[in-house]
Structure 1
Amino acid sequence: MSRNPELNTALTQWNGPLGLPDFTAFSDADFASVFDAALAADLAEVEAIANNPQAPTINNTLKALQLTGKALDHVSSIFWLRAGAHTNETIQTLERDIAPKMSRHYSRIMMNPALFARIDALYEQRDALNVDAETRRVLEKTWKGFVRSGAKLDEAGKQELAEINEKLASLGARFGQNVLKDEASWALFITDEADLVGLPDFLKNAMQSAATERGRPDAYAVTLARSIVEPFLTFAENRSLREQAFNAWARRGENGGETDNREIVREMVALRERKAHLLGYANFAAYKLDDTMAKTPKAVMDLLEPVWDKARAKAAEEEEALQQLIAAEGRNHKVAPWDWRFYAEKLRAERYAFDEAELKPYLQLEKIIEACFDVATRLFGIRFEEKKGIPTWHPDVRVFQVFNPDGTERGLFLGDYFARTSKRSGAWMSALQRSHKLDGGQKPIIYNVMNFAKPKEGEPALLSLDDARTLFHEFGHALHGLLSDVTWPAVSGTAVSRDFVELPSQLYEHWLTVPEILKKYAVHYRTGDAMPKALLDKVLAAQTFNAGFNTVEFTASALVDMAFHTGNEKIDDPLAFEKKTLEKLSMPQAIIMRHRTPHFTHVFSGDGYSAGYYSYMWSEVLDADAFSAFEETGDAFNPEIAARLKQYIYAAGGSRDPEELYIAFRGKMPTADAMIAKRGL
């Protein structure tokens, strides 16, 4: 990058503690000029490779290309972290500008004929090149990446594809911002104590904190953060308030005005369809799935459809049981979507003699973080040490140094656990820096973002069992990044096919409910007593409770995602399309999709999980089978299996075909039976 005195190099040259960026040394106003300079520098590096007069080699083309754009990587990773985890008007305005600019930049690179000619020449002689399996795989993936990005199109096709990609990037940024605005701007303030009937203390504390953050210390706020709205729907006795909160939650992104996402979805679906046709695919799902384990839309539907039928049958039984509870209370209304969680919780308390409120005092955030670390130490030998007082993007963020079994530094892990209005909803893992060994290599800097309700000052944060699972899930992704042991950046960590990426995360969830882990870490926040065995047994017995509801909610979302991206019909009204698709599926009236179309950020805020939401279930087939490998030995920490797990699943990244890696770990590919049994279907 140039030595322009106006550029703040703190964004590109990281001189903070432990190799982090110095978050105190730049401001939001610095991003725009640094981005422009970094984009120009990256383009110059790429053009030097493309125009190299020497014949292409692995070193002067493939390796050189992998090592370009260090400044751009640095400023981008900080910016996208801020855009998701701690945004504001300035960052959002920039995001709307930068998303299409980045798309345009990558189109120029991937459609550069001289550069593709060099990659293509290497690809054509790949059998004659004396390279290891990982290098060959990177070459093949790189070549395919160029082709899927339009390198073989004529000039008119290239121009059209570049315009489509740019437009999609703009629309995806706007979609996500609209959902965040709808979430941040809505709150239901409660001042009448009678409206708090049924709410446990942990929830009232969280609602008080949320109200104070919104300038109403006199009230309790129901917000659209999942960590508040879901327990509110579970415990609030006031049915009309449940309905109000539920409808606000369900209608994010479809409230009219400038945050309405319906037109964005319509446009995105049409553009994706056109993109797929330009590249020679029957539809967008066929394009997206070509590079996954599933390979085809048919394979995805072969997984989802039988599960859907079982889930609907199970949900019908569950609904009947809830309807009986309603009748027993002397009421005659049907189970509505805002009733399901409330009555399901009553039914669980009746059947298993415990409720979420009884469980929560034993699930302290602090202890569940310790449990995550302990499992990683037992399985993989790594350990974690917290480093206090290091400035990051927000005062709530915690920094941990990660060490190998021999005491050398492995990398850094950062945790950002609490909900706030500047953070998008959900939970995710990402990297400020991926690990690799090319040209001296670099250590991973991995972070997890959550949205747990922040407790009142001096109180511990208490989690639901779902929250605790989410923490283990995202930490499983973090380990995929931290344990990565590959040479090439292109296949590092989570750079694997979309339907394999959820295996390390979903598999890790299993260790939360290993009895010796719960016994050690599920301790009462006041007394320090371990969760009583009777309660622990009930928790484990109730793991498949409400399985029909949970599976319908998820699978409906996956099926609607596939419907949007496999049909060739023009969709004028996305919500009418959603409704028609669900009617064809005979969707139960009392349940809605886990993510309705106007706020389905997995699918429309960028295209990460577009035609890919099914992948959670695809990976679940693998994770149910993978954990069985430990269960079969009677030892959840069996060292021999843990060593194979590390080598083939957590450390291998995308260095080999995912099916090949799974078979190397387990000896065979699984069927869906273990997953269906695990779900209680």
Structure 2
Amino acid sequence: MVSENPLLTPSTLPYRLPDYAAIRPEHYLPAFEHAFAEHKAEISAITRARSMPTFENTMVPLEESGRLLGEVSRAFYTVSSADATPEIQEIEETLAPLSSAHYDSIQLDAQLYWRIKTLHDQLDQLELDPEQRYLVERHYTEKTQAGAGLDDASKARLTEINQRLSTLTTTFEKNLLNDTNDLAVVFESAEELDGLSEGELSAAAQAASDRGLDGSYLVTLTLFTGHPYLASLTNRSSRKRILDASRARGSRGNAYDNRDVLVEIVRLRAERAALLGFASHAAFVTADETAGSPEAVHALLRDLAAPSARNARREQEALQAIIDTEDASFPLEAHDWAFYTEKVRQAEFALDRAALRPWFEAERVLQDGVFHSASELYGITFTERADLVAYHPDARVFEVHNPDGSALGLFILDLYTRDTKRGGAWMNSIVSQSRLRGTSPVVVNNLNVPKPAPGKPTLLSLDEVTTLFHEFGHALHGLFATVTYPHFAGTAVFRDFVEFPSQVNEMWIYWPEVLAKYARHIDTGEPLPSEVVEKLDASETFNQGFATSEYLAASWLDQAWHSLTSEESATAVDVAAFEASALADIGLDNPVVPTRYSSTYFAHVFSGGYSAGYYSYIWSEVLDADTVEWFRANGGLNRDNGQRFRDRLLGVGGSKDPLEAYRDFRGRDAEIAPLLKRRGLAA
């Protein structure tokens, strides 16, 4: 019954936070069925109207529609990504084709499309404010690109393709989660993990204990190819075991093999693109991004690939020189790179990044780093709400207030890895802000930091510190976006712009007054020594050949798969051979520098929202690097700068063309020179 389902009654918790304490898995599917029906009825009420379309009788009810479905969806998919028990996975598999069919029925509704097109055709005659006008433009563009103008036969095939793709992408993610768990590497002795800190050993022992392997050590795998422990492990065999396990995911010929899954995804995406009038899936995706075309993306990636590969080769030679001085010399391999990079870093900069962990205690990084910099910039404050229950005991809830004390929203942090959580790090919304609906934001950050044994501190690596600041940049975007219409809420911007705010927020990691506040030794409270900070600054471009090359290789793989025409995709069946050919084509086929993601575990593009869009990180970084220059030139961490960035960029959400918003903030288009300097690629 509806009254007995907590998902179908308005939440009485602050900010409409779902009542996760009352929600059980069996509530989800009935809630979705009810919400699907309600949404269809709301759309039908719009399309049955006999009066000619107006903004008030078409766009406003369209934006009001689907409220319940949105609430149920965000509540469920927050759980399915962060706590995907077998029961939740089964629900998601059942739900995938149903959800796809439902959204297609809305996107492809001919009567709804006619009403929106009618408004779009007379935009200049309508008295609309800028957000209203942009709303009509976006709905028209998105529905046209989705296929709303196709004939009935083409729509039927499109719906079939979308449903099958929804099933396949869910399968890809499930396979990856299971194979990642299955391939976690078990070590029998602490000696095999020599080089790890006490906290890292504690986390490995706890992970083993959680699986009933008392006395052993378990190293769980990260989403990307490499692993933080590779920089510290002195045992070469242990390093190789970890990297081999990571690279084997989804390609072992077992029940979790993703090769056939991803090939079918590529083929169906290419067929869908052709059906919609595009040469490839990449053309389909980039047509409605700031890039505009795959050719623009390919040009940027190729321009950066050659100097990146050259830098990586020079770095490789330096690493090999270190190895050649040792008693047992051997050719450098991929699993050696991080370990010997740290040796070179110590030799050149006297800097051991692994030894910095005691200065990065997680709670202090959060409170005195992430929250503090946001408070200094934007005047916002954070109060933990232990009385509010999130979807998992590890997820902590914080209430956020504006400078004047008014309520802004909720921020939820879910820091630790677990077997039911997908890899990587991400931000998502549980409730999105909208003046029309009278809602305020509830946003979540997920990371995958190993959880130490009870009583032990959580010490972060510098990379994990970066990830925490990065994801919080997304959270700020979700919290600050202040729009009327839900279509523009939070981070609902073009995919190749969405990483920009999060990358900008990384700049405060090394900002002197921020670093001095949060980077303090866990035992002594002493700040990170100034000479270490100077060495971190001096080593900013160190190893950037490797870092840029591995990223560009993954971006190129994404583009290579999704630039195939429908006919070409029919012959791409050997995943390994395709990858080798694609990487050779762009000159990033160095076996010592593996791609950041191989296809079979490339969740961003085969189960996430980044298909043909993984280039977004470097595309956004052009804007990011240019923005960092602006902050430095204008006094850095102060309220005036923060307010300008909030008002002109973060605050507009998706209600304005993002490049127009950038020009409004910066006073001009972004320049690429700061990015080239940052990555050591300047001439």
TM-score by length of 2: 0.97
The aligned residue for residue 403 of structure 2 is: 405
Instruction: Give the conservation status (yes or no) of the 8 Å contact 2:225–2:247.
Output: no
State the match for 1:467 in structure 2: 464
Task: Please give the secondary structure, in 2, of the residue aligned with 1:438.
Answer: coil
Show the counterpart of 1:643.
Answer: 643
- Map 1:158-557 → 2, pairs under 5 A: 158-225=155-222, 230-370=227-367, 371-439=369-437, 441-557=438-554
Once residues 516 and 11 of structure 1 are traced to their aligned partners in structure 2, the CA distance between those partners, rounded to angstroms, is 47
Alignment match, 1:54: 51
Residue correspondence of structure 1 range 665-680 to structure 2 within 5 A: 665-680=665-680
Deviations 1:602-625 (A, max 9, x none): 00004x111100010010000000
In terms of mean alpha carbon deviation, does 419-428 or 194-203 score higher? 194-203
AA partner of residue 611 (structure 1) = A
Higher mean C-alpha displacement, 388-397 vs 335-344: 388-397
Residue type of the alignment partner of 2:292: K
**Mapped contact 1:254–1:598 kept (Cα < 8 A):** yes
1:486 positional shift: 1.3
Q: 1:603 aligns with which of 602, 605, 612?
A: 605
Aligned twin of 2:653: 653
Output the amino acid matched with 2:424.
G
The alpha carbon displacement at 1:356 in A equals: 2.1
| Structure 2 counterpart SS, 1:41 | helix
Whether the 8 Å contact between 2:15 and 2:439 is mirrored in structure 1 is no
The 8 Å contact of residues 16 and 23 in structure 1, kept in 2 or not, is answered as no
Mark the CA change 1:665 to 1:630 in structure 2 (over 3 Å): closer, same or farther. Answer: same
**Are positions 1:591 and 2:593 aligned together?**
yes
1:452, 1:467 within 8 Å by CA — same for their partners in 2?
yes
Any idea what SS the aligned residue of 1:258 has?
coil
CA contact (8 A) 2:377 2:641 kept: no
For 1:20-35, what aligned pairs fall within 5 Å after superposition?
20-35=17-32
User: d(CA) in 1 for partners of 2:195 and 2:617?
Assistant: 34
How far is the alpha carbon of 1:217 from its aligned partner? 2.5
TM-fit CA distance, 1:92: 0.6
CA distance in 2, matches of 1:359, 1:17: 39
Q: Is the CA contact 2:302–2:586 (under 8 Å) kept in the aligned structure 1?
A: no
Q: Displacement, 1:226?
A: 5.9
Report which stretch shifted further, 367-376 or 182-191.
182-191
- The one-letter amino acid paired with 2:632 is E
Q: Deviations over 1:416-458 (max 9, x none)?
A: 000000100000000001101114x210001100001112211
Structure 1 counterpart of 2:113, from 104, 113, 116: 116
The change in CA–CA distance for 1:542 and 1:495 in structure 2 (over 3 A counts) is same
Q: What amino acid does structure 2 have at the position aligned with 1:527?
A: T
What are the superposed Cα offsets for residues 87-140 of structure 1, whole Å, 9 maximum, x if unpaired? Answer: 111111111111111110011111111111111111111111100011100110
Distance (whole Å) between structure 2 residues aligned to residue 630 and residue 672 of structure 1: 16
Instruction: Look up the equivalent residue of 2:102 and give its one-letter code.
Output: H
Residues 143-172 of structure 1 show CA distances to partners (whole Å, capped at 9, x for unaligned) of 111111111100000001111111111101
CA displacement at 1:342 relative to structure 2 = 1.0
| Range moving further from structure 2, 443-452 or 227-236 | 227-236
Quote the Cα distance in structure 2 between the aligned partners of 1:537 and 1:245: 33
The residue matched to 1:431 in structure 2 has which SS? strand
The answer to whether the Cα contact below 8 Å between 1:203 and 1:231 also exists between their aligned partners in 2 is no
Give distance in 1, aligned partners of 2:607 and 2:274: 22
Identical aligned pairs, as a percentage?
A: 40
Structure 1 residue 199, shift from structure 2 partner: 2.1
Alpha-carbon deviations, 1:1-26, whole Å to 9, x = none?
xx645x51345522235531111112
Distance 2:62 2:648 in 1: 27
Among candidates 123, 144, 147, match of residue 147 of structure 1: 144
CA distance in 1, matches of 2:167, 2:654: 29
8 Å contact from structure 2 (residues 190, 217) kept in 1: no
Query: Deviation at 1:207?
Result: 0.9
Secondary structure of 2:430's partner?
Answer: strand
Paired with 2:579 and 2:462, the residues of 1 have a C-alpha distance of 31
| In structure 1, C-alpha distance between the alignment counterparts of 2:163 and 2:335, rounded to whole Å | 39
Deviation larger for 132-141 or 453-462 = 453-462
Higher deviation after alignment, 515-524 or 185-194: 185-194
**Secondary structure, in 3 states, of the residue corresponding to 2:192?**
helix
- CA drift of 1:229 comes to 6.9
Letter in 1 for 2:232: F
Is the CA contact (8 Å cut-off) linking 1:228 and 1:453 kept in structure 2? no
Instruction: Supply the distance in 2 between the matched residues of 1:525 and 1:344 (Cα, whole angstroms).
Output: 26
1:474 Cα deviation from its structure 2 partner: 0.3
Structure 2 contact 225–597 (Cα < 8 Å) conserved: no
**What is aligned with 1:625?**
626
Inter-partner Cα distance in structure 2 for 1:159 and 1:362 = 58
Q: Deviations over 1:519-552 (max 9, x none)?
A: 1110011111111111121122222211111000
TM-score normalised by structure 1 residue count: 0.97
In structure 2, what residue type is equivalent to 1:584? D
Question: What is the letter of the counterpart of residue 58 of structure 1?
Answer: F
Distance 2:428 2:447 in 1: 12
Tell me the residue number matched to 2:579: 578
How far has the Cα of 1:661 moved from its partner? 0.7
Q: Please state how far the C-alpha of 1:508 moved relative to its aligned partner.
A: 0.4
Distance, in Å, in 1 between the alignment partners of 2:10 and 2:680 is 51
How many equivalent residue pairs? 675
- CA, structure 1 residues 17+132, in 2 after alignment: closer, same or farther (shift >3 Å)? closer
Q: CA RMSD in A?
A: 1.5
Secondary structure in 1 matching 2:125: coil
Partners of 1:647 and 1:376 in 2: CA distance: 14
Tell whether the 8 Å contact from 2:189 to 2:217 is kept in structure 1 after alignment: no
**Distance in structure 1 (CA, Å) of the matches to 2:100 and 2:577:** 31
| Structure 2 Cα separation of the partners of residues 261 and 680 of structure 1 | 36
SS at 1:107's partner residue? helix
| Contact 2:224/2:597 (<8 A) preserved | no
- Distance in 2, Cα, partners of 1:11 & 1:428: 27
Contact 1:602/1:610, CA 8 A, preserved across alignment = yes
Q: Is the 8 A contact 1:86 1:422 kept in 2?
A: yes
Secondary structure of the residue aligned to 1:399 is strand
Q: Identify if the C-alpha distance between structure 1 residues 535 and 420 changes in structure 2 by more than 3 Å, giving closer, same or farther.
A: same
Partner-residue secondary structure (3-state), 2:540: helix
Structure 1 SS opposite 2:619: helix
SS in 2 for 1:217: coil
- Give the match's secondary structure for 1:455: coil
Distance 2:123 2:650 in 1: 28
Task: Measure the CA separation in 2 of the matches of 1:322 and 1:172.
Answer: 39
Partner Cα separation in structure 1 for residue 620 and residue 320 of structure 2: 34
Shift of 1:55: 2.0
The whole-number CA distance in structure 1 between the counterparts of 2:224 and 2:355 is 17
Residues 343-368 of structure 1 show CA distances to partners (whole Å, capped at 9, x for unaligned) of 11111122111212321100111111
Matched to 1:664, the amino acid is: D
> Is residue 2:561 matched to residue 1:564?
yes
Cα pair 1:284 1:565 within 8 Å, conserved? yes
Partner of 1:259, secondary structure, is: coil
Q: Deviations over 1:591-649 (max 9, x none)?
A: 1110110010000004x11110001001000000001111113x212443322211121
Contact 1:171 1:268 (C-alpha < 8 Å) held by counterparts: yes
1:51–1:115 CA contact under 8 A, matched in 2: no
- Give the aligned partner of residue 37 of structure 1: 34
